[in-house]
Chain A
Amino acid sequence: MSHAPLAIPSSVDALQEAVGRQQYIAERALAVSIYLALRLKRPLFLEGEAGVGKTEVAKVLAAALDTSFIRLQCYEGLDVSQAVYEWNYPRQLLEIRMIETARDLDRAAVTHELFTETFLIKRPLLRAIEQTRQRAPVLLIDEIDRADEEFEGYLLEFLSDFQVTIPELGTIRAAEPPVVVITSNRTREVHDALKRRCVYSWIPYPDFDKEYRIVTAKVPGASERLARQVTAFVQDLRTADLYKAAGISETLDWAAALVALDRDVLDRHVIDETLGILLKNQEDIDAVRGERVGAMLARVLA
């Protein structure tokens, strides 16, 4: 297993080009942040509304850097056994049974055998550290705001020395720090101590030009006219006072759906029929269906 270091793009432009090849359109400010995170070997902390493509950044980055991608999805109650490692105890029990039937039990030896890598379940953080022996992977810690504060504390420690200590095995260190991307939907404030270690970037909803470019890149079947109308409509819809605004993935799904329905232009009928792809909330759908869709459409077509 030879160690091949990451090839970091030589400039912001090169980085923008590299992610562009993965069909990701990164604004200059975001590209600068990513580049700095790579150069300064700091975690990249991405905040923004749901559906602006935060998770995508990590995936694209892994592809652009030609390295593996490891994801840790956060949730309430996430603990070390789910994030770092866990002993596979059912298998350990089975092993004891097998040894018992096979030969006389040498207790000291058994204990030793039971706590080896064979019985270790490696979770994302541990895997990320191990991977660095070959090439530093991209480690995505997704939706950190869902995890509880205790986990944040652990993460703080993990990010400062990139090592994991397993009492039965010893300490495992990263050969080089993995590329860490942390995302947050801002459902709560993440502690400043954690954010301070990171390169911070706020990702806004894309403006018309950017979203149009994303639609044409990702939904090649859409005609130029349809792509323009879809983008303009979604942009308008985001200004409406709704519980949950449509994200980029909703725009893309909608454009793809319209293509599948062989539509080339928007009309009220088709919007009403497919609104469920853009808005995932019955109250929101009821609020815009009908009159307001008509008004928005009129603005789009104007």
Chain B
Amino acid sequence: MQLVPNLLLFGRVLRAAGVHVHRERMVDAIEATEWIGLGSRADLRATLSALLVHRYEDLPLFNDAFDLFFRAHGSSALDLPLFSLGERARILMRRNTGAPQRLDLESESAESAASAAFALGAYSTIEVSRTKDFSDFTAAELEAARRLMLRMQWQPGTRRTRRWQRASRGDIDMPRLLRTNLMRGGELIELPRRIRREAPRPIVMLADVSGSMDRYSRMLLAFASGLTRSARQVESFVFATRLTRVTRLVSAPTGYRVVSRMVRDLHDWGGGTRIGEALRTFNTTWARRVMRHGPVVIIVSDGWDRGDPLLLARELARLRRRCSRLMWLNPLLGSAGYEPLTRGMQAALAHIDDFMPAHNLRSIEDLATHLQRLGPGLKTRPSIDGNYRQT
């Protein structure tokens, strides 16, 4: 049996399937087979998995590839279903294409026409009113506003970290004081000082993309995209009936197609809203991973909720305990005479720190200013599970 060529081939198969396999690891894998032996397929699987995979997400893909490869093992290498494996990663990224999407108003051709127009500088000449409601925008204005938002620079305030840095003010840095001055014989010549370093405060954005938000979703996703790309630590989620993490999607450098790709990928686009359930999913599945360092949480929704308002209130209360500030942006708040009377909104009001409009460019700018003003000393609320202290 030709072990080394087979292992190298398997490494290539894994790479083709989308598992990130580092070259050095192949060397390790070949060395490892000397220790493990090839008697047991389970051991071989464990060996290759331990050395070639380093992400939990890749494990299922690895297992599939392993099964396929070592079942085919023995027959000619040309019979291997390499192509089907290679295709798989791409197919996975595109599932959910079947559902009808209400927001995908522009077809591919319209989209490419629009980008061609932009390339000619067409949109740069359009003046966009900062106080006009997004829902009244023409297609051209939408596009111009969208580009504006993608370019916006966000400075979402800072948080104080637990790391020290040298500074000209602050507390005296005792270890450094002694180290520097003892070297000179113990005379205190310098008084080095230190302060806690500050880092950008993370943001978690949860955007409602259900049917009632239709007119605003596009703009708000552009907003999410701009925010994610300009501030460093932003996590984005969208929800209607279920919650989907879109952080990677909105931060993709091909900014223009971000929104429409998202539209295609979201199975639940335009369905009814169950905010409470979406938040519950967030709290149980994602909060542990993305709610670090006392983030600012921004929920964007009109509050039209078909779910249980009690559940919504409970999950909001929980969410609020774990973040430093909970904001709710409601596009409807911009229209004159709007009262937050929906059951969902009523349930939410008691648990949020800021209730702000998000219907035109002015309101988005206000939000930017507001975020920037949040100081580094913002406290995370005491948490009943003690996971978050002051950050």
Residues of A at under 8 Å CB distance from B? 12, 28-29, 32-33, 35-36, 39-40, 42, 45, 47, 75-77, 79, 81, 86-87, 89, 92-93, 96, 105, 107-108, 110-111, 114-115, 148, 150, 168, 185-188, 192, 195-196, 198-202, 241-244, 280-283
Contacts and interface: CB of A to CB of B under 8 A. Distances in A.
A87 B53 CA distance: 40
CB-CB nearest 4 A-B residue pairs: A77-B162, A107-B185, A32-B46, A195-B54
B385 A244 contact: yes
A77 B163 contact: yes
B284 interface: yes
Nearest to A282: B384
Interface string B15-35: 000001010110010011001
A261 to B, nearest CB: 26
Contact of A110 (B50, B186, B288, B289): B186
Contacts of A114: 182
A79 B292 CA distance: 19
Interface string B21-64: 01011001001100110000011011101110111100100000
Contacts of A81: 175
7 contacts: A28-B43, A36-B51, A77-B162, A92-B178, A192-B20, A201-B50, A241-B280
Contacts of B20: 192
Given A32-B46, A242-B284, A282-B384, A192 B54 contact: yes
B318 interface: yes
Nearest to B290: A188
B164 interface: yes
B289 A36 contact: no
Contacts of A40: 28, 31-32, 35
B32 A36 contact: yes
A267 B75 CA distance: 57
Contacts of B32: 36, 39-40
Contact of A89 (B24, B59, B163, B178): B178
Nearest to A197: B24
Interface of B, secondary structure class, is: helix
Interface of B: 20, 22, 24-25, 28, 31-32, 35-36, 42-43, 45-47, 49-51, 53-56, 59, 161-164, 174-175, 178-179, 182-183, 185-186, 280, 283-284, 288-289, 292-293, 314, 318, 384-385, 391
A108 B183 CA distance: 8
A196 B54 contact: yes
Contact of B175 (A86, A111, A202): A86
Nearest to B51: A199
B182 A111 contact: yes
Given A12-B43, A196-B22, A196-B54, A36 B35 contact: yes
B166 to A, nearest CB: 13
Contacts of A36: 32, 35-36, 47, 50-51
A139 B45 CA distance: 27
Contacts of A108: 185
Contacts of A185: 288
A204 to B, nearest CB: 10
B149 to A, nearest CB: 28
Contacts of B384: 281-282
A75 B54 CA distance: 23
Contacts of B55: 192, 195
Contacts of B25: 196
B34 to A, nearest CB: 9
Contacts of B59: 202
Contact of A77 (B161, B182, B385): B161
- Which interface residue of B35, B45, B162 has the most chain A CB atoms within 10 A? B35
